[in-house]
Amino acid sequence: MARPLKILFVSPEVQPFAKTGGLADVAGALPPALKALGHDVRVMLPKHRSVLSAGVPLSPLGLEVTAKTGDQTRKGFIYQGTLPESVPVYLLENDSYFLRDPLYGTREGDYPDNAERFIFFCQAILESCLALRFIPDIIHLNDWPTGLVPVYLKTLYRKAFSATRTVFSIHNLGYQGNFPPATLSQAGLPPGLFHPGGVEFYGQFSFMKAALVYADLLTTVSPTYCREIQTPAFGFGMDGMLRARGKDLHGVLNGADYHRWDPAHDPWIAENYGPKKLKGKEACRKRLEERFALDIMPQRPIVGMITRLSQQKGLDLVMQVMDDLLATGAGFVLLGEGGALYEEYFRRLGSHPRAGVAIGFDEPLAHQILAGSDILFMPSGYEPCGLTQMYAMKYGTVPLVRAVGGLKDSVREFQAKSGSGTGFKFRHEEKADCLRALDKALSLYRNKAAWRRLRLAGMAEDFSWTRAAEKYNRLYLKALRT
Ligand code: ADP
Ligand code: GLC
């Protein structure tokens, strides 16, 4: 390595401190992989309520920072925890903003003060660097709650951070952090920035737009999503902007954290197993059948889903194919929480003798469903990367996915002739196309030898983080040349 870099990795959620989805998995695994390359990597997130129940040791650093939202000066206190590879994690405490669960809002909607909460967070990130005397070479930011850091670095904090460069990663363009125009002055930013080439997005102040305009380099979490977001169909209105920055936008496929997601040493599953000892998977399936009292017909698979219940995940399509799926005699298991209407539908579905439904967030059950299912179903409308399908492959659970974003990049289509591939894919967000893929999977399932081969092919895939960390390393060096 040429020179170890000082890197601050900022995310609103980090496993095991706080998690709603895959971003937490990334933020818990990529920084240790970067540290293993020799960099001085540190992580920062808000001290959410869930941090208290996470069971991880924290110590107060005795450092206080202040940040301004509107004309109010607010205080924050820094705590420290650690990730693997001894990566320091800074947790920003301000109980009135962050001592909440869920992280961003309730079923009824986002918290009304989200703009204020994350203005505070973005400023406090930079104030914390100053208080810690840690001026990073690179600040790597993730998703809209961190989106104001690049614009602060180019305005209010320019002098103190003149050599620092920012990399902003888009994990989901569907969440943009758009707020009324007055948010600009609440953030303390100059009025001149409110125009379509700056932080304005169709009359609103946008955290995401601010990041896309002002970050030195942009990334997203798969090569296909990188292309998709530059088109109107997937761009959520920002595709023009992303095309304009096409040279600075890179797709890096996420990795899978095999320290947490490996059936050979998963503490939560009925029996450990691996490619040489697949028997344990049968025990896991049996346990899952018992837990949900599933009445599955012989020689039929269990189709599993572990997902946020949001429209992004293709749940309307799931509802359309459900009768046909259950009529085949297969079992269906879902773990998820989110949209009230989806929760209601799946709760009702749970009374079907072949369906098992758990509404809620349950880490051990997520592992048990991955281990006990035969097929993982991810018919997403869009999917920036998707991690669950990568974990599924490691657990010998065959992914059946819509060919979008990272699903397209990580699952190789099964080829009947050669027997190659790792899963099943369909293209169109349509019932007939999806049913065709399900049908293909269900008939292959009856061929024990072929199914075993498919399972083993998935288990042999390697999505470990080292490869992605090396790509980010090269991008950091590129950002430093800007
Ligand atoms: P997204 O980030 O869009 O939610 P990913 O597939 O990238 O999708 O990551 C989802 C992560 O969240 C996985 O680790 C998955 O196991 C976890 N997850 C999602 N819903 C739940 C739930 N209800 N309970 C436990 N874990 C969940
Ligand atoms: C987002 C995306 C998901 C991705 C995750 C981590 O939540 O929806 O596809 O895997 O971020 O990058």
- Answer whether residue 260 is part of any domain: no
Q: Which atom, in ligand 2's list, is nearest to the CA of 221?
A: 12
Q: Are residues 137 and 245 in the same domain?
A: yes
| Secondary structure letter of residue 246 according to DSSP | G
Contact of 168 with 198, CB cutoff 8 Å: no
Q: Are residues 349 and 401 in the same domain?
A: yes
Query: How far, in Å, CA of 413 to CA of 403, rounded?
Result: 9
Ligand 2 pocket check for 44: Cβ under 6 Å? no
How many Cβ atoms are within 10 Å of 53's Cβ, its own excluded? 9
Q: Are residues 120 and 214 in the same domain?
A: yes
Q: Are residues 200 and 314 in the same domain?
A: no
- Answer whether residue 194 is part of any domain: yes
Count CA atoms within 13 Å of residue 415 on its CB side: 6
pLDDT of the residue at 88: 98
- Answer whether residue 1 is part of any domain: no
pLDDT of the residue at 59: 97
Whether the model pTM is above 0.85: yes
| Secondary structure letter of residue 216 according to DSSP | S
CA distance from start to end of the chain? 20
Q: What is the CATH number of the domain that holds 251?
A: 3.40.50.2000
pLDDT of the residue at 2: 63
Ligand 1 pocket check for 21: Cβ under 6 Å? yes
Ligand 2 pocket check for 254: Cβ under 6 Å? yes
pLDDT over 70 percentage in the chain: 100
Q: Who contacts 307 (Cβ-Cβ below 8 Å, separation ≥6)?
A: 313, 315, 334, 335, 336, 378, 388
Confidence at 471, pLDDT banded by 50, 70, 90: very high
**In 3D, which of 141, 122, 147, 143 has the Cα closest to residue 20?**
143
Q: Are residues 47 and 151 in the same domain?
A: yes
Helix (H, G, I), strand (E, B) or coil at 375: strand
Helix (H, G, I), strand (E, B) or coil at 205: strand
Q: Are residues 212 and 309 in the same domain?
A: no
Q: Are residues 349 and 241 in the same domain?
A: no
- Answer whether residue 271 is part of any domain: no
- Answer whether residue 217 is part of any domain: yes
Q: Are residues 326 and 432 in the same domain?
A: yes
Query: What total of structural domains would you count in the chain?
Result: 2
- Answer whether residue 327 is part of any domain: yes
Query: How far, in Å, CA of 100 to CA of 104, rounded?
Result: 8
pLDDT digits (tens, 9 = 90+) for 218-239: 999 999 999 999 999 999 999 9
Tell me how far the alpha carbon of residue 387 lies from the centroid of ligand 2, in angstroms: 7
pLDDT of the residue at 107: 82
Average pLDDT, the chain: 97
Q: What is the DSSP string of 55-92?
A: T---EEEEEEEEEEETTEEEEEEEEEEEEGGGEEEEEE
Contact of 78 with 133, CB cutoff 8 Å: no
Structure tokens that stand for 98 in this block = 């962050």
The residue to mutate among 266, 307, 401, having the most atoms of ligand 1 within 8 angstroms of its beta carbon, is 307
pLDDT digits (tens, 9 = 90+) for 105-145: 988 889 999 999 999 999 999 999 999 999 999 999 999 99
Q: Are residues 376 and 239 in the same domain?
A: no
Q: Are residues 173 and 304 in the same domain?
A: no
φ, ψ of residue 289 to 5 degrees: the values are -60, -40
Query: How far, in Å, CA of 232 to CA of 412, rounded?
Result: 26
- Answer whether residue 285 is part of any domain: yes
Query: How far, in Å, CA of 220 to CA of 382, rounded?
Result: 13
| Secondary structure letter of residue 413 according to DSSP | B
Q: Are residues 218 and 75 in the same domain?
A: yes
- Answer whether residue 272 is part of any domain: no
Range of the domain at 373: 279-459
Q: Are residues 450 and 476 in the same domain?
A: no
